[in-house]
Amino acid sequence: MNEKNNRSDFVNSRALFVLKIITMSFAILACVVIATAMLTRWIMDLDRKIKESNTKMAKAAARINKFRKGRIKHILKQRRLQLKEEREDKKRKTHDRDKRLTDMDMEDEDDYEIDELDDMEEITDEENAVNDFDNELSDIMLEDIDDEI
């Protein structure tokens, strides 16, 4: 009978060994599945946070660009108004100068005043040429800026 007990113990011990191996395999598989699930969840959370931060950065960049464009438009508008005022001043000065010249021509003054008038005309002609050039240059610059925007 000892032989039967030894045999059954041997068979049972083999069966127990196989069961231990199978149990350990399932335990390892369960650990792998749990670890994979946890890593997948962590990666998905990280991806969501990255997308949220990108949208926040995109919104901030859009606000900055909008502010920058608004500022540029404001500066260009101020420059146009300034150029308009300069043209009006130039027209007013030219009109006043022409009016003075016509008044002087009508008065028939002595030669000294006529010589003085000639000197004034030479100076004003040079000033007019410089002013015309400045105005043309300003107009060209404004057109270039308008084309860029």
The pLDDT of residue 108: 54
HEC string of 63-129?
Answer: HHHHHHHHHHHHHHHHHHHHHHHHHHHHHHHHHHHHHHHHHHHHHCCCHHHHHHHHHHHHHHHHHHH
Q: Has residue 3 got a pLDDT over 60?
A: no
pLDDT grade for 1, boundaries at 50, 70 and 90: very low
Prediction pTM value: 0.36
Residue 90: give the domain boundaries: 2-148
How many structural domains does the chain have? Answer: 1
